[in-house]
Structure 1
Protein backbone atom coordinates (compact mmCIF):
# COMPACT_ATOMS: atom_id res chain seq x y z
CA UNK A 1 0.00 0.00 0.00
CA UNK A 2 1.25 3.42 -0.92
CA UNK A 3 0.17 6.99 -1.56
CA UNK A 4 -0.58 7.25 -5.28
CA UNK A 5 -0.28 11.00 -5.98
CA UNK A 6 0.29 14.44 -4.54
CA UNK A 7 2.62 15.70 -1.84
CA UNK A 8 3.39 12.19 -0.51
CA UNK A 9 3.37 10.30 -3.82
CA UNK A 10 5.10 6.93 -3.57
CA UNK A 11 5.31 6.85 0.22
CA UNK A 12 4.48 3.50 1.78
CA UNK A 13 1.60 3.10 4.24
CA UNK A 14 1.56 0.52 6.99
CA UNK A 15 -1.32 -1.96 6.78
CA UNK A 16 -3.42 -2.89 9.80
CA UNK A 17 -1.79 -6.03 11.27
CA UNK A 18 -4.88 -8.24 11.34
CA UNK A 19 -7.32 -9.92 9.00
CA UNK A 20 -10.29 -7.84 10.10
CA UNK A 21 -9.41 -5.00 7.76
CA UNK A 22 -9.54 -5.10 3.97
CA UNK A 23 -7.22 -2.46 2.51
CA UNK A 24 -8.16 -0.59 -0.64
CA UNK A 25 -5.72 -1.62 -3.36
CA UNK A 26 -3.56 1.00 -5.05
CA UNK A 27 -5.31 0.34 -8.38
CA UNK A 28 -8.78 0.91 -6.91
CA UNK A 29 -7.61 3.98 -4.99
CA UNK A 30 -6.17 5.46 -8.18
CA UNK A 31 -9.39 4.80 -10.12
CA UNK A 32 -11.53 6.22 -7.31
CA UNK A 33 -9.56 9.47 -7.14
CA UNK A 34 -9.61 9.87 -10.91
CA UNK A 35 -13.40 9.86 -10.67
CA UNK A 36 -13.88 12.20 -7.69
CA UNK A 37 -11.06 14.56 -8.61
CA UNK A 38 -7.39 13.97 -9.07
CA UNK A 39 -6.36 16.97 -6.91
CA UNK A 40 -8.14 19.24 -4.44
CA UNK A 41 -7.91 22.83 -3.30
CA UNK A 42 -8.77 22.30 0.33
CA UNK A 43 -11.91 20.60 1.56
CA UNK A 44 -12.84 18.47 4.54
CA UNK A 45 -13.04 14.68 4.47
CA UNK A 46 -14.41 11.94 6.71
CA UNK A 47 -12.83 8.48 6.39
CA UNK A 48 -15.35 6.23 8.14
CA UNK A 49 -14.24 2.61 8.75
CA UNK A 50 -10.77 4.03 8.03
CA UNK A 51 -8.63 0.91 8.52
CA UNK A 52 -5.06 2.09 7.83
CA UNK A 53 -6.33 5.55 6.82
CA UNK A 54 -5.32 5.07 3.19
CA UNK A 55 -8.26 6.87 1.57
CA UNK A 56 -8.13 9.90 3.85
CA UNK A 57 -4.34 10.11 3.62
CA UNK A 58 -4.55 9.94 -0.17
CA UNK A 59 -6.99 12.85 -0.05
CA UNK A 60 -4.69 14.87 2.21
CA UNK A 61 -1.74 14.16 -0.09
CA UNK A 62 -3.79 15.43 -3.04
CA UNK A 63 -4.69 18.71 -1.35
CA UNK A 64 -7.61 18.17 1.02
CA UNK A 65 -7.27 20.47 4.00
CA UNK A 66 -8.35 18.15 6.84
CA UNK A 67 -9.60 14.63 7.43
CA UNK A 68 -11.36 12.94 10.32
CA UNK A 69 -10.54 9.22 10.60
CA UNK A 70 -12.88 6.82 12.39
CA UNK A 71 -12.50 3.13 13.14
CA UNK A 72 -13.54 1.01 16.10
CA UNK A 73 -10.61 -1.41 16.06
CA UNK A 74 -7.63 -0.52 18.30
CA UNK A 75 -5.04 -1.88 15.82
CA UNK A 76 -6.56 0.24 13.05
CA UNK A 77 -6.35 3.36 15.22
CA UNK A 78 -2.70 2.63 16.07
CA UNK A 79 -1.95 2.15 12.36
CA UNK A 80 -3.66 5.41 11.37
CA UNK A 81 -1.65 7.32 13.99
CA UNK A 82 1.58 5.68 12.79
CA UNK A 83 0.85 6.51 9.13
CA UNK A 84 -0.09 10.11 9.92
CA UNK A 85 3.05 10.55 12.04
CA UNK A 86 5.29 9.05 9.34
CA UNK A 87 3.93 11.52 6.78
CA UNK A 88 3.81 14.43 9.26
CA UNK A 89 0.07 14.90 8.74
CA UNK A 90 -1.05 14.83 12.40
CA UNK A 91 -2.00 18.52 12.47
CA UNK A 92 -4.36 18.05 9.51
CA UNK A 93 -6.17 15.07 11.00
CA UNK A 94 -8.36 13.92 13.86
CA UNK A 95 -8.59 10.24 14.78
CA UNK A 96 -11.43 8.64 16.75
CA UNK A 97 -11.92 5.09 17.98
CA UNK A 98 -15.66 4.60 18.00
CA UNK A 99 -18.63 3.06 16.22
CA UNK A 100 -19.54 4.69 12.90
CA UNK A 101 -23.04 5.79 13.95
CA UNK A 102 -21.75 7.33 17.19
CA UNK A 103 -19.09 9.15 15.18
CA UNK A 104 -21.72 10.55 12.79
CA UNK A 105 -23.87 11.73 15.69
CA UNK A 106 -20.86 13.35 17.43
CA UNK A 107 -19.77 15.07 14.20
CA UNK A 108 -23.28 16.47 13.83
CA UNK A 109 -23.23 17.83 17.38
CA UNK A 110 -19.92 19.54 16.62
CA UNK A 111 -21.40 21.07 13.46
CA UNK A 112 -18.83 19.43 11.18
CA UNK A 113 -19.53 19.44 7.46
CA UNK A 114 -17.60 17.32 4.96
CA UNK A 115 -16.95 17.71 1.25
CA UNK A 116 -16.03 14.02 0.91
CA UNK A 117 -17.20 11.09 3.01
CA UNK A 118 -15.53 7.72 2.43
CA UNK A 119 -17.61 4.69 3.50
CA UNK A 120 -15.77 1.38 3.50
CA UNK A 121 -17.50 -0.82 6.09
CA UNK A 122 -17.01 -4.59 6.41
CA UNK A 123 -18.82 -6.05 3.42
CA UNK A 124 -22.46 -7.06 4.01
CA UNK A 125 -22.31 -6.12 7.71
CA UNK A 126 -23.49 -2.51 7.65
CA UNK A 127 -26.33 -0.92 5.71
CA UNK A 128 -25.14 1.80 3.35
CA UNK A 129 -28.68 3.23 3.38
CA UNK A 130 -28.61 3.52 7.19
CA UNK A 131 -25.20 5.21 7.10
CA UNK A 132 -26.31 7.70 4.46
CA UNK A 133 -29.59 8.39 6.28
CA UNK A 134 -27.55 9.17 9.41
CA UNK A 135 -25.24 11.47 7.40
CA UNK A 136 -28.30 13.33 6.10
CA UNK A 137 -29.99 13.41 9.53
CA UNK A 138 -26.91 15.02 11.10
CA UNK A 139 -26.40 17.35 8.11
CA UNK A 140 -22.77 16.30 7.59
CA UNK A 141 -22.47 16.59 3.80
CA UNK A 142 -21.58 19.96 2.28
CA UNK A 143 -23.57 21.30 -0.67
CA UNK A 144 -22.05 19.61 -3.70
CA UNK A 145 -20.29 17.07 -1.45
CA UNK A 146 -19.77 13.42 -2.37
CA UNK A 147 -20.21 10.14 -0.51
CA UNK A 148 -17.92 7.43 -1.84
CA UNK A 149 -18.94 3.85 -0.98
CA UNK A 150 -16.62 0.89 -1.36
CA UNK A 151 -18.70 -2.29 -1.46
CA UNK A 152 -18.89 -5.96 -2.35
CA UNK A 153 -19.21 -6.18 -6.16
CA UNK A 154 -22.26 -8.47 -5.79
CA UNK A 155 -24.09 -5.80 -3.82
CA UNK A 156 -26.32 -3.32 -5.66
CA UNK A 157 -26.40 0.05 -3.94
CA UNK A 158 -29.74 1.90 -3.80
CA UNK A 159 -30.32 4.45 -6.56
CA UNK A 160 -31.67 6.98 -4.07
CA UNK A 161 -31.29 7.54 -0.31
CA UNK A 162 -33.21 10.59 0.86
CA UNK A 163 -31.88 13.52 -1.17
CA UNK A 164 -28.80 11.55 -2.30
CA UNK A 165 -28.63 10.04 -5.77
CA UNK A 166 -26.25 7.33 -6.96
CA UNK A 167 -24.24 9.09 -9.70
CA UNK A 168 -21.79 6.33 -10.61
CA UNK A 169 -21.21 2.69 -9.74
CA UNK A 170 -18.41 0.50 -11.10
CA UNK A 171 -16.65 -2.75 -10.27
CA UNK A 172 -12.86 -2.83 -10.26
CA UNK A 173 -10.89 -6.00 -10.80
CA UNK A 174 -14.01 -8.08 -10.15
CA UNK A 175 -13.46 -7.72 -6.41
CA UNK A 176 -14.41 -4.18 -5.34
CA UNK A 177 -17.37 -2.00 -6.17
CA UNK A 178 -17.38 1.78 -5.88
CA UNK A 179 -20.53 3.86 -5.66
CA UNK A 180 -20.56 7.65 -5.63
CA UNK A 181 -23.50 9.66 -4.26
CA UNK A 182 -24.23 13.34 -4.57
Structure 2
Protein backbone atom coordinates (compact mmCIF):
# COMPACT_ATOMS: atom_id res chain seq x y z
CA UNK A 1 0.00 0.00 0.00
CA UNK A 2 1.19 3.50 -0.83
CA UNK A 3 0.16 7.13 -1.05
CA UNK A 4 -1.32 7.65 -4.51
CA UNK A 5 -1.00 11.40 -5.12
CA UNK A 6 0.13 14.70 -3.67
CA UNK A 7 3.15 15.69 -1.60
CA UNK A 8 3.73 12.14 -0.29
CA UNK A 9 3.08 10.41 -3.63
CA UNK A 10 4.49 6.87 -3.93
CA UNK A 11 5.64 6.67 -0.30
CA UNK A 12 4.87 3.15 0.93
CA UNK A 13 2.65 2.80 4.00
CA UNK A 14 2.76 0.14 6.68
CA UNK A 15 -0.39 -1.82 7.34
CA UNK A 16 -1.55 -3.57 10.46
CA UNK A 17 -0.84 -7.29 10.41
CA UNK A 18 -3.73 -9.68 10.81
CA UNK A 19 -7.37 -9.61 9.84
CA UNK A 20 -8.62 -6.88 12.20
CA UNK A 21 -8.22 -4.18 9.54
CA UNK A 22 -8.90 -4.27 5.80
CA UNK A 23 -6.91 -1.64 3.95
CA UNK A 24 -8.82 0.16 1.20
CA UNK A 25 -7.35 -0.88 -2.16
CA UNK A 26 -5.49 1.71 -4.22
CA UNK A 27 -8.13 1.60 -6.94
CA UNK A 28 -11.01 2.27 -4.55
CA UNK A 29 -8.96 4.94 -2.76
CA UNK A 30 -8.25 6.66 -6.10
CA UNK A 31 -11.96 6.60 -7.02
CA UNK A 32 -12.91 8.02 -3.62
CA UNK A 33 -10.42 10.88 -3.81
CA UNK A 34 -11.39 11.73 -7.38
CA UNK A 35 -14.93 12.22 -6.05
CA UNK A 36 -13.91 14.58 -3.20
CA UNK A 37 -10.86 16.27 -4.66
CA UNK A 38 -12.54 19.67 -5.02
CA UNK A 39 -13.30 19.72 -1.25
CA UNK A 40 -9.84 18.76 0.04
CA UNK A 41 -7.80 21.97 -0.10
CA UNK A 42 -7.17 23.17 3.47
CA UNK A 43 -10.07 21.07 4.80
CA UNK A 44 -10.21 19.61 8.29
CA UNK A 45 -10.46 15.84 7.84
CA UNK A 46 -11.59 13.28 10.41
CA UNK A 47 -10.59 9.64 9.81
CA UNK A 48 -12.62 7.35 12.10
CA UNK A 49 -11.67 3.66 12.41
CA UNK A 50 -8.37 4.72 10.84
CA UNK A 51 -6.57 1.37 10.61
CA UNK A 52 -3.19 2.23 9.06
CA UNK A 53 -4.22 5.86 8.51
CA UNK A 54 -4.02 5.52 4.73
CA UNK A 55 -7.20 7.51 3.99
CA UNK A 56 -6.37 10.46 6.26
CA UNK A 57 -2.75 10.47 5.03
CA UNK A 58 -3.97 10.50 1.42
CA UNK A 59 -6.17 13.49 2.30
CA UNK A 60 -3.22 15.33 3.86
CA UNK A 61 -0.98 14.49 0.91
CA UNK A 62 -3.61 15.93 -1.45
CA UNK A 63 -3.94 19.22 0.41
CA UNK A 64 -6.09 18.80 3.52
CA UNK A 65 -5.05 21.29 6.18
CA UNK A 66 -5.30 18.86 9.07
CA UNK A 67 -6.45 15.35 9.88
CA UNK A 68 -7.48 13.61 13.06
CA UNK A 69 -6.94 9.86 13.17
CA UNK A 70 -9.19 7.89 15.53
CA UNK A 71 -8.37 4.26 16.22
CA UNK A 72 -8.88 2.11 19.32
CA UNK A 73 -6.31 -0.55 18.38
CA UNK A 74 -2.89 0.23 19.91
CA UNK A 75 -0.96 -1.60 17.16
CA UNK A 76 -2.88 0.25 14.45
CA UNK A 77 -2.13 3.56 16.16
CA UNK A 78 1.58 2.73 16.17
CA UNK A 79 1.25 2.07 12.43
CA UNK A 80 -0.45 5.46 11.93
CA UNK A 81 2.35 7.18 13.84
CA UNK A 82 4.97 5.45 11.68
CA UNK A 83 3.13 6.33 8.45
CA UNK A 84 2.68 9.99 9.42
CA UNK A 85 6.41 10.22 10.16
CA UNK A 86 7.37 8.41 6.94
CA UNK A 87 5.26 10.82 4.86
CA UNK A 88 6.46 13.87 6.84
CA UNK A 89 2.84 14.76 7.58
CA UNK A 90 2.98 14.21 11.34
CA UNK A 91 2.64 17.92 12.18
CA UNK A 92 -0.75 18.03 10.40
CA UNK A 93 -2.08 14.88 12.06
CA UNK A 94 -3.60 14.42 15.50
CA UNK A 95 -3.95 10.86 16.82
CA UNK A 96 -6.63 9.73 19.27
CA UNK A 97 -6.40 6.22 20.73
CA UNK A 98 -10.08 5.65 21.60
CA UNK A 99 -13.35 4.46 20.14
CA UNK A 100 -15.13 6.64 17.58
CA UNK A 101 -18.06 7.78 19.75
CA UNK A 102 -15.74 8.81 22.62
CA UNK A 103 -13.54 10.64 20.11
CA UNK A 104 -16.52 12.61 18.80
CA UNK A 105 -17.22 13.81 22.35
CA UNK A 106 -13.55 14.65 22.96
CA UNK A 107 -13.25 16.56 19.67
CA UNK A 108 -16.40 18.49 20.46
CA UNK A 109 -14.90 19.58 23.79
CA UNK A 110 -11.79 20.73 21.85
CA UNK A 111 -14.06 22.84 19.64
CA UNK A 112 -13.12 20.99 16.45
CA UNK A 113 -15.34 21.18 13.36
CA UNK A 114 -14.73 19.00 10.29
CA UNK A 115 -15.26 19.53 6.59
CA UNK A 116 -14.98 15.82 5.77
CA UNK A 117 -15.59 12.89 8.10
CA UNK A 118 -14.58 9.48 6.76
CA UNK A 119 -15.32 6.21 8.53
CA UNK A 120 -14.47 2.64 7.64
CA UNK A 121 -15.81 0.58 10.56
CA UNK A 122 -15.79 -3.22 10.70
CA UNK A 123 -18.55 -4.37 8.37
CA UNK A 124 -21.97 -5.56 9.50
CA UNK A 125 -21.73 -4.53 13.17
CA UNK A 126 -23.83 -1.33 12.90
CA UNK A 127 -20.93 0.82 14.16
CA UNK A 128 -21.66 3.37 11.43
CA UNK A 129 -25.19 3.76 12.80
CA UNK A 130 -23.84 4.41 16.32
CA UNK A 131 -21.41 7.00 14.97
CA UNK A 132 -24.03 8.75 12.84
CA UNK A 133 -26.32 8.89 15.87
CA UNK A 134 -23.50 10.53 17.84
CA UNK A 135 -22.79 12.95 14.99
CA UNK A 136 -26.39 14.12 14.62
CA UNK A 137 -26.17 16.01 17.92
CA UNK A 138 -22.52 16.93 17.68
CA UNK A 139 -20.89 20.31 17.21
CA UNK A 140 -18.12 18.80 15.06
CA UNK A 141 -20.58 18.71 12.13
CA UNK A 142 -21.77 21.86 10.37
CA UNK A 143 -24.09 22.44 7.40
CA UNK A 144 -21.39 21.72 4.77
CA UNK A 145 -19.77 18.69 6.41
CA UNK A 146 -19.44 15.69 4.10
CA UNK A 147 -19.63 12.31 5.84
CA UNK A 148 -18.37 9.29 3.91
CA UNK A 149 -19.02 5.76 5.13
CA UNK A 150 -17.26 2.72 3.69
CA UNK A 151 -19.55 -0.26 4.26
CA UNK A 152 -20.43 -3.67 2.90
CA UNK A 153 -22.74 -3.67 -0.11
CA UNK A 154 -25.52 -5.12 2.05
CA UNK A 155 -25.44 -2.38 4.70
CA UNK A 156 -28.74 -0.51 4.87
CA UNK A 157 -28.91 3.18 5.68
CA UNK A 158 -32.73 3.34 5.87
CA UNK A 159 -32.49 4.65 9.43
CA UNK A 160 -31.15 7.95 8.07
CA UNK A 161 -34.74 8.95 7.31
CA UNK A 162 -35.09 9.53 11.08
CA UNK A 163 -31.98 11.74 11.28
CA UNK A 164 -30.92 15.19 10.07
CA UNK A 165 -28.76 13.50 7.39
CA UNK A 166 -29.43 12.48 3.81
CA UNK A 167 -27.55 10.33 1.31
CA UNK A 168 -26.32 12.45 -1.56
CA UNK A 169 -24.36 9.82 -3.47
CA UNK A 170 -23.47 6.15 -3.36
CA UNK A 171 -20.59 4.45 -5.17
CA UNK A 172 -20.87 0.66 -5.22
CA UNK A 173 -17.85 -1.55 -5.82
CA UNK A 174 -17.51 -5.33 -6.09
CA UNK A 175 -17.81 -6.12 -2.35
CA UNK A 176 -18.35 -2.77 -0.65
CA UNK A 177 -19.57 0.79 -1.17
CA UNK A 178 -18.98 4.40 -0.24
CA UNK A 179 -22.03 6.26 1.00
CA UNK A 180 -21.85 10.07 0.89
CA UNK A 181 -23.99 11.73 3.56
CA UNK A 182 -24.64 15.40 4.26
CA UNK A 183 -26.69 17.28 6.84
CA UNK A 184 -30.13 18.39 5.71
CA UNK A 185 -29.86 22.13 5.08
CA UNK A 186 -31.89 23.74 7.83
CA UNK A 187 -29.76 26.81 8.32
CA UNK A 188 -26.18 27.31 9.37
CA UNK A 189 -26.00 24.33 11.73
CA UNK A 190 -27.86 21.09 12.18
TM-score, normalized by the shorter chain, greater than 0.5: yes
Per-residue Cα deviation, 1:95-118 (whole angstroms, up to 9, x for no partner): 111111111111111111000101
Q: 1:161–1:9: structure 2 CA closer, same or farther, 3 Å change rule? A: farther
- Looking at structure 2, the residues matched to 61 and 165 of structure 1 have their Cα atoms a distance apart, in angstroms, of 29
Q: Aligned pair 1:165/2:161, yes or no?
A: no
SS at match of 2:168: strand
TM-score of the two chains, using structure 2 as the length reference: 0.90
- What are the equivalent positions in structure 2 for 1:88-103 lying under 5 Å apart? 88-103=88-103
Q: CA deviation at 1:128?
A: 2.1
Shift of 1:156: 2.5
- Equivalents in 2 of 1:39, 1:181: separation in Å? 14
Aligned residues of 1:129 and 1:161 also touching (Cα < 8 A): no
Please tell me the root mean square deviation across aligned C-alpha atoms, in Å.
Answer: 1.4
Shift in Å at residue 164 of structure 1? Answer: 1.3
Once the two structures are overlaid, the 10-residue window that deviates more, 92-101 or 119-128, is: 119-128
Q: 1:53 is matched with which residue?
A: 53
Q: Which has the higher strand share?
A: 1
Higher mean C-alpha deviation, range 111-120 or range 138-147:
138-147
Distance 1:8 1:114 in 2: 22
Q: Answer with 34-43 or 108-117: which moved more.
A: 34-43
1:130-145 correspondence runs (5 A): 130-145=130-145
- Displacement after TM superposition at 1:39 (Å): 6.7
**SS at structure 2 position matched to 1:36:** helix
Equivalent in the alignment of 1:28? 28
Equivalent position of 1:79 in the other structure: 79
Residue 127 of structure 1 and its aligned partner are, at CA, apart by: 3.5
Could you tell me how far 1:129 is from its partner in structure 2?
2.6
Rounded to whole Å, the distance in 2 between the matches of 1:89 and 1:165 is 33
Gaps of 5+ in 2: 183-190
2:106 aligns to what? 106
Q: Which runs of 5+ in 1 are unaligned?
A: none
Number of aligned positions between the proteins: 181
